[in-house]
Amino acid sequence: MADTAIITAPKPKYDDNSLIEEFGYDDHFHDHHHGDKYQSSFIFHYIFSMDHKMIARQFLITGMFWAVIGGLMSLIFRLQLGFPEESMAWIKPILGGWITVNEAGIGTLAPEFYYALVTMHGTIIVFFVLTAGLSGTFSNLLIPLQLGARDMASPFLNMLSYWFFFSAGVVMFLSLFLSTGPFSGGWTAYPPLSALPQASTGSGAGMTMWSFSMVLFVVSVLLGGINYITTVLNMRTKGMSLWRMPLTIWAFFVTAIIGLLSFPVLVSGILLLVLDRELGTSFYLSEIFVGGQALDHVGGSPILYQHLFWFLGHPEVYIIILPAMGIVSEVLSVHARKPIFGYKAMVYSILAIAFLSFIVWAHHMFMSGVNPFISNFFVIFTLIIAVPSAVKVFNWIATLFGGNIRFTTACLFGIGFVSMFISGGLTGIFLGNSAIDVQLHDTYFVVAHFHIVMGIAAFFGMYAGVYHWFPKMYGRFMNETLGRIHFWGTLIGAYAIFWPMHYIGMAGVPRRYYSFDSFQAFNHFDTINKFITVAAIVVFTLQVLMLINFFYSIWNGKKMTTQNPWKASTLEWTTPIETGHGNWPGKLPTVTRWPYDYGKGGQDFISQIAPVEDWEKEFDEAH
């Protein structure tokens, strides 16, 4: 190490703009696209926009809308769980018929609607917020910007992708207002609850709209995914080899591949389900007696649906978490002023996780009567996922170690992500064992596990991204003080919600129950349930604070005065503050190095477009 310290960098000769001017390459973009028509009018600029940066913001704000709806739903069912005796008459103005008020004025939540709330909370948060809102937002924003592309491969498909997502949202939103209520058979939509319209109140029109909405959503994911993959492989600027891509791009790229291979399977599953419902086929329905009457169906297998669903369902959790991992890798490296530790190991672990995600789906079905020998296979591969996950955690911590960390809100959320991912990942090792799963299956232990590891953790990754790239999106900064209150409150609050759930889960308290009145064994957990509910209300309030911060900062936040406020080396910060259509006003930047040259030779950072100097060759040899 002694001789490496001698090699220090001379003062850089260029700023970013002159670098692009001198070394960039001219694709004559602005000769061909002079005065794009979709930039000019309000409708084509803000609504049917084909600019990836605008589409990213559309995804983000739509995702936020759904996060509020999904969050409010969880508060209502948490109130029911924490304070089952309290009157809910006060929300009757909103929920209407779902609250029955008795003569004494005590309002009770209808049990059917409790199930609808749980179902919709899951569907909305998993698909609309953490899939579309997270990977939709940041893939759109960052893939062209960080790769040095003018836009996505097909801006038109990109626009369609958003509008399919929007339509899926409209259908799902309308289903909330059905007199029979939205679908209420759980976000996994297992038959027979989903296949028999007469099975429950939500199984009729609610389920029809659920499946229609999901198909629209899948179309959105596929159109987006085709675009992301094509852009990454075909539209990189000069010098941007695959091994020079930021980890964010690697994560979005692999996420898109997973989505593209797993979502069509969900469509197949839903299609067969719809045929069972509408045309009397028997894919999932066997000889069932309803009210003493045998149904016409013969020879169906509900387990078949579970296979098809979880073949998407498990990759789906990696579709949610991989973008968050990519964002966190980038944010931690920038704010710790250190190169990411083990760049290639990070990429290989993303690939390994992606591969393994396809061969572990049946660990959701250990209790469905699958062959125990088959279970062993799934146990082994599930536990092997701990290896690439641990590699990533180690690398994040090693990136932070000895760094000159700037504790900005974005960085704090990055660190919070690592904390959440570790605590949630450890409980995954319990659940991945089929023997332990016998006890823990469908208890609050599972609820705690997945909320921490893919709910809260993914939200933290999303927040890290929002705080970090907010200046790029809106040219202003979010308020840091509010941001820190948001972070610390959410970190402590989220643990306060989900840690106790591990305990009640191990005690056997089952999830999805409306009330525990008739279970003497679970009665003494009511204080814990009250505590969880209060913590949930506090955490939700803090998210409202974040939303206020977000929307206030769009118009009134501190203005961005330099192009590269975080002093990051990636390409998105070489674009002008007001990034117009086409991203770079003149030539495209030429990339000369990997994206993590922080602290090299005593230099704070070296932009990806800075030419390789002579001292660096010596430096690289010395290392």
Residue 518: count of CB within 10 angstroms of its CB? 8
Q: Is 299 in the site for other proteins (CB under 8 A)?
A: yes
Q: Is 154 in the site for other proteins (CB under 8 A)?
A: yes
Which three-class secondary structure string do you get for 492-503?
A: HHHHHHHHHHHH
Q: Is 226 in the site for other proteins (CB under 8 A)?
A: yes
> Which one, 281 or 419, has the nearer CB to other proteins?
281
Residue in 194, 200, 227, 349 binding other proteins, rule: CB under 8 A: 227
DSSP bridge pairs for 284: none
Strands (E) across 91-200 are located at 99-101, 107-109
- Give yes or no for a contact between 221 and 259, defined as CB atoms under 8 angstroms apart: yes
Taking CB under 8 A as the binding criterion, the range among 276-284, 455-463, 479-487, 515-523 that sits at the site for other proteins is: 276-284
Q: Is 354 in the site for other proteins (CB under 8 A)?
A: no
Residue in 308, 321, 347, 568 binding other proteins, rule: CB under 8 A: 308
Residue 22: count of CB within 10 angstroms of its CB? 13
CA distances from 503 to 118, 364, 530 (A): 21, 21, 14
The encoded tokens of residue 460 equal: 């933290």
Q: Is 229 in the site for other proteins (CB under 8 A)?
A: yes
> Which one, 254 or 456, has the nearer CB to other proteins?
254
> Which one, 284 or 619, has the nearer CB to other proteins?
284
Residue in 29, 138, 310, 311 binding other proteins, rule: CB under 8 A: 311
> Which one, 288 or 304, has the nearer CB to other proteins?
304
279, 284, 287, 289: CA torsion to nearest 10: -80
Maximal C-alpha separation, the chain: 87
- In which element (H, E) is residue 268 found? helix 247-278
> Which one, 196 or 440, has the nearer CB to other proteins?
196
Q: Is 281 in the site for other proteins (CB under 8 A)?
A: yes
State how far the Cα of 267 lies from the Cα of 300, in Å rounded to an integer: 18
Total of chain residues touching other proteins, rule CB under 8 A: 39
Give 61: exposed, middle or buried? Use CB within 10 Å, 0-12, 13-18, 19+: middle
Q: Is 429 in the site for other proteins (CB under 8 A)?
A: no
Which three-class secondary structure string do you get for 502-551?
A: HHHHHCCCECCCCCCCCCHHHHHHHHHHHHHHHHHHHHHHHHHHHHHHHH
Q: How far is the CB of 223 from other proteins (least distance, A)?
A: 9
Q: Pick from 249, 27, 142, 151: which is nearest to 573 by CA?
A: 142
Q: Is 273 in the site for other proteins (CB under 8 A)?
A: no
Taking CB under 8 A as the binding criterion, the range among 53-61, 254-262, 509-517, 532-540 that sits at the site for other proteins is: 254-262
Q: Is 235 in the site for other proteins (CB under 8 A)?
A: yes
Q: How far is the CB of 475 from other proteins (least distance, A)?
A: 30
Q: Is 234 in the site for other proteins (CB under 8 A)?
A: yes
Q: Is 304 in the site for other proteins (CB under 8 A)?
A: yes
Residue in 37, 279, 373, 561 binding other proteins, rule: CB under 8 A: 279
- Give yes or no for a contact between 235 and 153, defined as CB atoms under 8 angstroms apart: yes
Q: Is 275 in the site for other proteins (CB under 8 A)?
A: yes
Contacts of 597 (CB under 8 A, 6+ apart): 339, 569, 603, 605, 606, 608
Q: Is 296 in the site for other proteins (CB under 8 A)?
A: yes
Q: How far is the CB of 355 from other proteins (least distance, A)?
A: 15
Residues that bind other proteins (CB under 8 A): 153-154, 157, 222, 225-227, 229-231, 233-235, 260-265, 267-269, 271-272, 275, 279-283, 296, 298-301, 304, 307-308, 311
